[in-house]
Amino acid sequence: MDERPCLAHPLARRVRTRLEMTNQPNPARSRWIALVLIVLAASTGWAAWRQTHLVVDVENRAMKSVGTPEALALDRRVAGFGEDSVLLCLIEPRAPASDEFSAAERAAVQELERALRTLDGVSAVERVPGDIGSRAVLAIELAGSTDRIARAVDGVRELGRTRLPDTLRSSVTGQPAGEIAIARAVRADQARVVPWIALGLFVLLTWLYRHVGIALAVLAPAGMAIVWTQATYELLGRELDPVSVMLPAVLLTVGVAAGVHYVEAFLDRLAFDGDRFTSARRAVDDLVEPAMLAALTIVIGFLSLATSPIPAIVDFGVFSALGVALAFAAYAFGLPALLAVLGPRTPPRGTERRGTWTGRIGERAAGWFARRATAVRWGTLAFALLALASWSRLSFDNEPLRILASDDPFRVETEHVAERLGAIEAFDVLVPADSELADPARAALFGAGVSNLPRVAGFAGAPLAAENGDRLLRFLLAPSGSREREPLFASVEALARAHGAGDVRATGSAVQIARDSSALVRGQVWGSLTGLTVLFVIFWIGLRSARSAVVALVPNVLPCVAVYAGLAWLGRPISVATAMISSVLLGLIVDDTVHLLHGIRHLREGGATSLEAIETVFRRNGRAVVVTSIVLAGGFAGTAFGELETSFEFGAVAAATISIALLADLVVLPALLVDTRELQTAEARRG
């Protein structure tokens, strides 16, 4: 056994000692395997039971920043004036040509108003000023528990369908209805996405390895890590939200991709050892160092999300890191026992020559690009600079409505109401009791100035007064994105300062969402830079070379740069989901690079030239690199089965990033690793 010191050596030694204890007569080994499987099954069963208690964050509290000036202002607004739980119900003729309600239609609208006032959870119903003869707009104020409000929202829709004649239609929108729609989509994604991804990965693994047992052995540790992580999530009092719902899909995909490296090493060993448990044990021994280094880089990538001001993203990063650590432990300790029971006794038919086509990649493609290192390096630099230049076109949008799929009924209704009315959202201006604008005359002058600002559609009602003397001015927002709204709210506060009231703040959900968007991007930039710095140090220590550390980062930073450039050229704004890509995938896609660099380093230490080492490692490990990339891209693409737009965007962008990372490993990495002086010397000798 190779006893060279390594970054993971202490843990590697403990893993070896634990597994070598089973290299005894079969009865002792069988008892050990049975004990491992019983412990894994029992702990996983308990964790699966605990995760059934997870509930959904219906109010989307985790998607809003905490401790920021916007959050504190919103807390004061809620304390003084209560929650803003109002639905808007637009009633209009189905026929576009209709000009006026008929007498029967007006009577039906009045009857609907009376029925709504008696509905459980409805505290008030008012006609919105400005109704015209061909439409009516009702403001319906809700009160009570979350469940009561959810029933009231459903009741409003049901009354609109049953109490209005066929000639009229009703459309319902508002923050309470949106939060409920998001919560229901989260529940649907939780139940739908992971089973589809698991089924797809099972079919893919069974096809690749021609053996059901191998597919199950690879999936099982990832599944264990998922239920253990979600059980911890529930025990700590966390609730499901549009970000955390992606956690199982990420852990399943990442875990299976890591398992592929073990299986490839296991099959290589099986052809020589002839014993599946011994082969699995030695495969774990062979991969402990690169696997631990790869797991550490993934954990760092996820933990870099902890710099975000959004609690949901912080939790996603922390619990994803925990899940990756649990998955590594499950593979290191449980995979030998699983393969001993489920694995084949001999390499499955059809897999003996599984490295043939990837051997050609190593000998031809990687070598071809290595020999043209100078051109590839300059081409990569030009591409990176062009991609970075396009980032100036990036925009940011944290609009909650975009969390839902474009065909979601609530989103469709909301967009229709916004088009018909011109404005359906409001923002508030909180005026403290001791402010200069507490004077009604000065407040009126200030309000007139705000109403004339771009993207302000006018007043949303009369000013409100709280018991402590605070006043609340309300304004309607014209439809626009977070990028346009943030300067508007800054202009409102600048106007207040011009009136001598620096303590006045714009507040409300729309304000916090817009400002959270910028804070989210700033947090991700710092998180990515922090993650890059830490990864560089880890690579430097693990690979024992600063140059190798830089090389390990380049082909993995490049895909993130390219994907954001693609979003800029497509005119797609950065959302909560896509903002996380750089931090999440920076650690994830480094996995393949680590395995390649680890092998090249050992060959170089053995006296091989850089070109020989590159061709040999790509011939040996090319299949694992390609298969893990296919598994990762296919797994993330499986989020297309979800209802949330965030899940779809995250999966699509992640799959694209992984595909570009594979190309970078096959094209850019050989060109960066090859020693051009060696090539020139070799060419001179041939000449």
- For 623-674, write each residue's pLDDT tens digit: 777 877 888 888 877 776 777 777 778 788 888 888 888 888 888 888 887 7
Q: CB of 512 within 8 A of CB of 70? A: yes
Same domain, 15 and 127: no
DSSP 589-641: THHHHHHHHHHHHHHHHTT--HHHHHHHHHHHHHHHHHHHHHHHHHHHHGGGG
Q: What is the pLDDT of residue 265?
A: 82
CA–CA distance, 231 with 228 (Å, rounded to integer): 5
Same domain, 92 and 31: no
DSSP 187-209: HHHHHHHHHHHHHHHHHHHHHHH
CA atoms within 13 A on the CB side of 626: 18
Q: What is the pLDDT of residue 687?
A: 54
Q: What is the pLDDT of residue 236?
A: 92
Same domain, 218 and 332: yes
Packing angle, helices 146-163 and 103-117, rounded to 10 = 160
Looking up residue 16, the CATH number of its domain turns out to be 1.20.1640.10
| Listed residues 490, 514, 538: the one ending a domain | 514
Q: CB of 549 within 8 A of CB of 540? A: yes
Same domain, 122 and 25: no
Q: What is the pLDDT of residue 495?
A: 92
CA–CA distance, 144 with 140 (Å, rounded to integer): 13
Packing angle, helices 373-389 and 676-686, rounded to 10 = 150
How many structural domains does the chain have? 3
Same domain, 255 and 173: no
Same domain, 242 and 345: yes
pLDDT, greater one: 145 or 364 = 145
Same domain, 346 and 218: yes
459: its two tokens: 């007043």
Q: Band the pLDDT of 586: cuts 50, 70, 90.
A: low
| Listed residues 449, 484, 514: the one ending a domain | 514
Q: What is the pLDDT of residue 297?
A: 77
pLDDT digits (tens, 9 = 90+) for 309-345: 788 888 988 998 999 899 888 888 888 888 888 888 8
Q: What is the pLDDT of residue 4?
A: 39
Q: What is the pLDDT of residue 2?
A: 40
Residue 531 has pLDDT above 90, yes or no: no
CA–CA distance, 429 with 475 (Å, rounded to integer): 8
DSSP 433-497: TTSGGGSHHHHHHHHHHHHTSTTEEEE-SS-EE-TTS-EEEEEEEPS--HHHHHHHHHHHHHHHH
CA–CA distance, 636 with 625 (Å, rounded to integer): 17
Same domain, 220 and 322: yes
Q: CB of 282 within 8 A of CB of 269? A: yes
Q: CB of 559 within 8 A of CB of 528? A: no
Tell me if 686 is assigned to some domain: no
Q: CB of 431 within 8 A of CB of 438? A: yes
Residue 686 has pLDDT above 90, yes or no: no
Percent of the chain at pLDDT > 90 equals 8
Tell me if 59 is assigned to some domain: no
**Which amino acid is present at 609?**
T
Tell me if 100 is assigned to some domain: yes
Range with the lowest mean pLDDT among 60-64, 132-136, 351-355, 452-456? 351-355
Same domain, 231 and 346: yes
Tell me if 682 is assigned to some domain: no
Q: What is the pLDDT of residue 323?
A: 92
Q: Band the pLDDT of 71: cuts 50, 70, 90.
A: confident
3-state secondary structure of 23: coil
Q: What is the pLDDT of residue 1?
A: 37
Q: CB of 580 within 8 A of CB of 313? A: yes
406: its two tokens: 């474009």
The backbone torsions φ and ψ at residue 604, rounded to the nearest 5 degrees and listed phi first, read -65, -40
- Mean pLDDT for the chain overall: 80
| Domain span at 126 | 85-180
CA–CA distance, 205 with 225 (Å, rounded to integer): 19
CA–CA distance, 367 with 361 (Å, rounded to integer): 8
Q: If you average pLDDT over residues 66-72, what whole number do you get?
A: 81
pLDDT digits (tens, 9 = 90+) for 420-443: 887 777 888 999 988 888 888 888
Tell me if 66 is assigned to some domain: no
DSSP 665-679: IIIIHHHHHS-HHHH
197: its two tokens: 């991804």
CA atoms within 13 A on the CB side of 382: 6
CA–CA distance, 23 with 635 (Å, rounded to integer): 36
Q: What is the pLDDT of residue 358?
A: 57
Q: What is the pLDDT of residue 142?
A: 87
Same domain, 89 and 154: yes
Dihedral of the alpha carbons of 127, 129, 131, 136, in degrees to the nearest 10: -20
Q: If you average pLDDT over residues 599-610, what whole number do you get?
A: 78
Q: What is the pLDDT of residue 7?
A: 40
Same domain, 170 and 253: no
pLDDT digits (tens, 9 = 90+) for 27-44: 676 777 778 788 888 988
Range with the lowest mean pLDDT among 203-212, 238-247, 419-428, 442-451? 419-428
pLDDT digits (tens, 9 = 90+) for 132-187: 567 888 888 888 888 888 899 999 999 999 999 988 889 998 888 888 888 888 88
Same domain, 507 and 439: yes
The residue to which tokens 């600002």 are assigned: 453
Tell me if 116 is assigned to some domain: yes
The residue to which tokens 């000798």 are assigned: 685
Q: What is the pLDDT of residue 19?
A: 42
Q: CB of 624 within 8 A of CB of 633? A: no
The backbone torsions φ and ψ at residue 64, rounded to the nearest 5 degrees and listed phi first, read -115, 140
Q: CB of 258 within 8 A of CB of 631? A: no
Residue 386 has pLDDT above 80, yes or no: yes
Instruction: Give the single-character DSSP code of 120.
Output: T
Q: What is the pLDDT of residue 209?
A: 84
Range with the lowest mean pLDDT among 162-176, 348-362, 536-550? 348-362
Q: Band the pLDDT of 304: cuts 50, 70, 90.
A: confident
Tell me if 529 is assigned to some domain: no
Q: How far is CA 672 from CA 349, 615, 681, in A?
A: 37, 14, 18
**Which amino acid is present at 242?**
P
Q: What is the pLDDT of residue 216?
A: 92
Tell me if 377 is assigned to some domain: no
237: its two tokens: 């009092």
| CB-based contacts of 99, cutoff 8 Å, min separation 6 | 133, 134
Q: What is the pLDDT of residue 226?
A: 93
| Listed residues 514, 531, 560: the one ending a domain | 514
Range with the lowest mean pLDDT among 109-118, 247-256, 480-489, 580-589? 580-589
Looking up residue 90, the CATH number of its domain turns out to be 3.30.70.1430
Q: What is the pLDDT of residue 8?
A: 42
